[in-house]
Amino acid sequence: MLGISTMRITVVAISIVLVFTQLGCATSSGNPPYPTAWASIKSEPVQEGCPDLQGTYTNQGTGTFPPEAGAPPSLAEVFMAMARSKSATGPEAWKRSWPSIPRDAVSVSIEQAPETMIITFINSAGSHTPLSFRRYHFTLSEDRVDDLFSCRTLYAEPTLRFFNEPLSHTSTSILMAGGGGTSVALLKSVDGSLVVNWRSDSMALTQFVLGSGYRVDNLWYRYAPFTGEKPTER
């Protein structure tokens, strides 16, 4: 029995060493961080580290980085992707549903409190469609996570991140296993614009010590303060 136990411990130890060896040989790639040509996101955090997001913004974005990613999605499209999420953090996994978000929204209003946030989509007829979110607090009795947010520091700036991942994926084969997901975070720039960080992480581990890969793709979208005028894309 002692010999079998020792053998098992040895196998586990070797496996751990191989994993750490692979991680040590991992390559990392991805897009650069927040564009320096845009207004700074260096803002003072409020409400226990959250950025001050209160205000009304254009539904249609005014900028994308990197620019080769194409025109920015509307804020309605960003949150529609979260509403349709098939990931373990999405509403479907928790047997929940979100209100129907209007594609024709003209503006988006954010009301913020220390423990809650309401994001309201307003169309040209003045119809309001609110989405309610709660600040995360650890509890064993949580019955959903698709409406949770937390605040943290991203690139040394206060950032609000949603738990709901619009996209997630896993892949396995004889030679490789991998997976990843996409998160949505909100920041505020000093010119009053709302900034969305659409971040996709993916990692692949090979069965041999030939290298592993970790990639982060940061897409940045900017939404100007709403003035009642059609925004100009830059």
Contact 122, 104 (CB under 8 A): no
Pick 216 or 37 by higher pLDDT. Answer: 37
Q: Which of 196, 147, 185, 206 is nearest to 19 (CA)?
A: 206
**Residue-level pLDDT at 32:** 62
The continuous run of DSSP H or E covering 83 comes out as: helix 75-83
Which residues are CB-neighbours of 173 under 8 A, at least 6 positions away?
none
Whole-model pTM? 0.76
Which residues are CB-neighbours of 92 under 8 A, at least 6 positions away?
85, 86
Contact 108, 75 (CB under 8 A): yes
**Residue-level pLDDT at 47:** 67
Beta partners for residue 27, in sequence order = 213
**Residue-level pLDDT at 156:** 80
**CB-count exposure of residue 95 (10 Å: 0-12, 13-18, 19+):** exposed
User: Please, what's the b/e burial string for 125-144 (b: 16 or more CB within 10 A of its CB; e: otherwise)?
Assistant: eeeebebebebbeeeeeeee
User: Please, what's the b/e burial string for 152-178 (b: 16 or more CB within 10 A of its CB; e: otherwise)?
Assistant: eebeebbbbbbbbbbbbeeeeeeeeeb
Predicted confidence (pLDDT) per residue in 3-19, tens digit: 444 444 343 333 433 34
**Residue-level pLDDT at 145:** 95
The answer, yes or no, to whether residue 107 has pLDDT greater than 90, is yes
Contact 89, 146 (CB under 8 A): yes
